[in-house]
Amino acid sequence: MSQVGLRTLLSISIIGVGLLAIIGSGPEPKPPSPIAIIDSGPEPKPPPPKKNSCEGNEIFNNREWVVAGQDSSIPEDPFKVIINGNVCGTTKLLTFASRIAGTTQFPQVFVINSSGFLRLKTGADPTPPLLFGQSLVLGPAIFGTSASFPTTTLFFNPQLQTVSIDTSKLNADRTGTLLIKLIAEGTDLSASSTKTNQIMNLTWDIMLHEPTDAQTQIGVAGQFTFTEDVTPDPMRTSEFQSFRLLQISSLFIDNARHDVDALRYRDAGGLLELLYAPNMVSMLLPHNPTALDPATLIFDSLHTDDKGEPNGNTPSYRITMKQTTGPVTGTITPRAFFVATNDVNDDNLGAWLHQSPSQPTIHAGTTGRIEYSVVATTDPLPPLPPPHQNPPVLTIKVSPLETGNVTVPSYKKGDKVTITATPKPGWVFDHFEGGDISGLADSNAPLAHAHPLHVVADISKDYDKEKTFTLDGTNSVGTETKADIIMDSEKSITAIFKELAYHWSQKSGPTVNLINPTSSKPMFSVQDTSTGLYEFELVVGNGNTLSIPDRTSIRVFDVDVVSIDPVIGTNMQIETEQTVSMSIVYSGLPIGSEIHALLQASIIGKTPNEPLILPIPLDFNIAQGNKPNSDLGALLTFLVGYGDYLAFLAKTDTNQGSVSATIGFRPQKLSKNLDPA
């Protein structure tokens, strides 16, 4: 690609079988005008910097860097340029030239188009100048539908609106970086525009490193926020082209006419290098797509020879992915595609890195981030890192299923790995099978947990003469067990768990008959005259060791309704709006007691034949701060309306479940409070 020619960069994507979308991005920039230098020493001196950094087309000149705007015929609109906070007009194309040490030459090393196409080449510039060859297209690009585009659309590239340059990190000794921020938002776009900022707001922070003779490098950190709902096309997702993190645009016609001629990356199976050939035209490449090795995440777009008509030794790119966040998931997959052409002035090849959408529809407001670096060089790229050395696999099974877990720390081949078996409640670890286990630690005594805790139940004459209660030890559990295994090869082990052994016994209170005292949930019954405190003890065992005993108690008693205001069981018409209160007071409850009672009140309505009862939960317990044997009650307050009939009926319930009270009401206004009496 000639700097002085009219070659147009093209973006390519499959729209359907045999159909292509081709988007022009304009000619390459012309080189900067020659700068007259007077030789005054061993190294020629560059021109002095301009006092006005925005004078003419030249945006910045510090005698080492020259940043300039140039004309361009690309269809995109110009973007605003800001240098160190000063607005310097608009341009469609911005060039960055860096002086070659010891010379007065300022070759272009980096170019920004308003179409979001970026171009890089090395700092060493022969005569005639080195050419760019390929372009990086800022992403993400989306293939799908959106709220404003109901038919499948390729949102391929952005329309840049602002480029801000910060030179504060440049040093006088030719070190440091240029900081560049690019902004593309949905403002000022026509309704028919399919630029990526039609559906999302995008920014990119670019760090342009000081170029060398061997390479030029940039770091890219892009952020995006979707501004409308977007649905990536499922078919394009299956082809790894619906969510493109970044793209490459270049030229390949045949072995003689090209700017790139291969792609290369390492996948889980090893090194993959694909040399392009004319018979691959109109095909998605590679034919069998594979993901980047997550240990390297490197993709090379290569120019393997030192020629290629008409542009010569154009650079190769190495892209190293750093991080992706947002509405994407899974591995990153390279793809490429090119169309048949004989026009050496048009890009016909596109390559991209794809990551699958994490949801069918990406909703407005969804954000994400894409970070990577790009190195451009005409020298052979260094070999890709060696394949990721996966450690030997340790397969873990649990028997019976869902009875425990086994945790394994990260390890390398040959490591001694300490694994931990942890039983779930009601189970205890027994032993490992397979895998040359060593250093097996003896299991500690299991932990007994007896429930319920201080349950208070009422035997009322209004209910059955006998009540049944259930004790609960299902939260008892065995302790974790550790063991060692040498991971010098693939291994498989099974962790065997078994049920805890239970033994319940009664320790105080009227004697009862415990049903199934060796189960996790034994039961017993009491008569209505058998009030008092029933205390039970639980011991669990793992076959070798018994737990420390744990105790629980249930108090059975008759409720004492101390006061109900106005009158129990009496219909009373309310002549004026007023507050009616009632309370139930319990005596002699231990700290931690849970009240199991049913309290019911109803407002009958205008006549006794129109009852309306609505349940309201009522839960309370004796707090730790209360004194033992203190009284506790529920104070229920109602604000009832004029003309309503009110009837109260207080009852208690020995339900073992959650505490509840049922309260009926019908007035327009109602307040409900629950406070200790």
Structure confidence at residue 183 as a pLDDT band (50, 70, 90): very high
Contacts of 278 (CB under 8 A, 6+ apart): 253, 254, 340
pLDDT at 260 over 90: yes
In sequence order, what DSSP letters do the residues of 232-291 get, joined into one string? Answer: E-HHHHHTT-SEEEEEEEE-BSSSSBBS--EEEEEETTEEEEEE--GGGTT--BSSS--P
pLDDT at 29 over 60: no
Q: Identify the residue with better confidence: 570 or 115.
A: 115
Lowest mean pLDDT among 230-244, 587-601, 618-632: 618-632
- Give percent of the chain with pLDDT exceeding 90: 45
What SS3 class is residue 620?
coil
pLDDT given for residue 428 in this prediction: 92
User: Which token pair is 94?
Assistant: 């911005």
Structure confidence at residue 55 as a pLDDT band (50, 70, 90): low
- Report all structural domains of the chain as residue ranges with CATH numbers, in order of start: 10-377 (2.70.98.10), 394-557 (2.60.40.10), 563-663 (no CATH)
Structure confidence at residue 223 as a pLDDT band (50, 70, 90): very high
pLDDT given for residue 465 in this prediction: 61
Lowest mean pLDDT among 124-133, 451-460, 554-563: 554-563
Cis peptide preceding 140, ω within 30 of 0: yes
Cβ-contact 410, 394 below 8 angstroms:
no
User: Which token pair is 137?
Assistant: 């297209």
Return the C-alpha torsion angle 358, 360, 366, 369, nearest 10.
Answer: 40
- As a whole number, mean pLDDT of residues 398-415 equals 89
Using the Cα atoms of residue 37, residue 41, residue 46 and residue 51 in order, give the sign of their dihedral.
Answer: negative
Question: Does an H or E element contain 630, and which?
Answer: none
Closest CA to 559 of 627, 633, 619, 509: 633
Return the HEC string of 379-423: CCCCCCCCCCCCCCCEEEEEECCCCEEEECCCCCCCCEEEEEEEE
Structure confidence at residue 102 as a pLDDT band (50, 70, 90): confident
Structure confidence at residue 57 as a pLDDT band (50, 70, 90): low
- As a whole number, mean pLDDT of residues 285-300 equals 93
> Tokens 């290098």 correspond to what residue?
273
Structure confidence at residue 328 as a pLDDT band (50, 70, 90): very high
Report the distance separating Cα 492 and Cα 175, nearest Å: 54
pLDDT at 587 over 50: no
Terminal Cα distance for the chain, rounded:
89
427 - beta bridge partners?
499
User: Which token pair is 527?
Assistant: 């008569």
Lowest mean pLDDT among 251-255, 460-464, 559-563: 559-563
Contacts of 318 (CB under 8 A, 6+ apart): 298, 299, 300, 374, 375, 377, 381
pLDDT at 28 over 50: no
pLDDT given for residue 414 in this prediction: 83
pLDDT given for residue 439 in this prediction: 64
pLDDT at 148 over 90: yes
Q: What is the DSSP letter of 509?
A: S
Closest CA to 244 of 363, 318, 148, 351: 351
Could you tell me what percentage of the chain is helix, strand and coil, using 3-state DSSP and rounding each to the nearest 5? 0, 45, 55
Report the distance separating Cα 343 and Cα 443, nearest Å: 77
pLDDT given for residue 44 in this prediction: 43
Cβ-contact 435, 492 below 8 angstroms:
yes
Beta strand 316-325 with 367-377 is antiparallel
Lowest mean pLDDT among 25-29, 91-95, 217-221, 316-320: 25-29
Q: Cα 483–489–494 angle (5° rounding)?
A: 45
Report the distance separating Cα 138 and Cα 132, nearest Å: 17
User: Which token pair is 575?
Assistant: 């002549």
pLDDT given for residue 608 in this prediction: 42
Report the distance separating Cα 302 and Cα 273, nearest Å: 10
pLDDT given for residue 457 in this prediction: 54
- As a whole number, mean pLDDT of residues 262-279 equals 92
pLDDT digits (tens, 9 = 90+) for 427-446: 999 889 887 787 676 668 89
pLDDT given for residue 22 in this prediction: 33
Question: pTM for the whole thing?
Answer: 0.56
Closest CA to 202 of 351, 373, 24, 368: 368
pLDDT given for residue 468 in this prediction: 81
In sequence order, what DSSP letters do the residues of 25-42 get, joined into one string? Answer: --PPPPPPPP------SS
Closest CA to 371 of 326, 330, 409, 311: 326
Structure confidence at residue 560 as a pLDDT band (50, 70, 90): very low
What average pLDDT does the chain have?
75
Closest CA to 460 of 527, 534, 518: 527
Q: What is the DSSP letter of 483?
A: E
Q: What is the DSSP letter of 197?
A: G
Report the distance separating Cα 241 and Cα 357, nearest Å: 10
Structure confidence at residue 607 as a pLDDT band (50, 70, 90): very low
Exposure class string for 584-615: b at 16+ Cβ within 10 A, else e:
bbbeebeebbbbbbbbbbbbbbeeeeeeeeee
- As a whole number, mean pLDDT of residues 481-504 equals 91
pLDDT given for residue 197 in this prediction: 96
In sequence order, what DSSP letters do the residues of 165-195 get, joined into one string? Answer: EE-TTB-TTS-BEEEEEEEE-STT--TT---
Exposure class string for 392-417: b at 16+ Cβ within 10 A, else e:
eebebebeeeebbebeeeebeeeeeb
User: Which token pair is 637?
Assistant: 């307050």
Structure confidence at residue 388 as a pLDDT band (50, 70, 90): low
In sequence order, what DSSP letters do the residues of 123-165 get, joined into one string? Answer: S---SSPPP---EEE-S-EEEEEESS--S-EEE------EEEE
Q: Report the phi/psi class of residue 359: left, alpha or beta, with left for phi > 0 and alpha for psi in -120 to 50.
A: beta
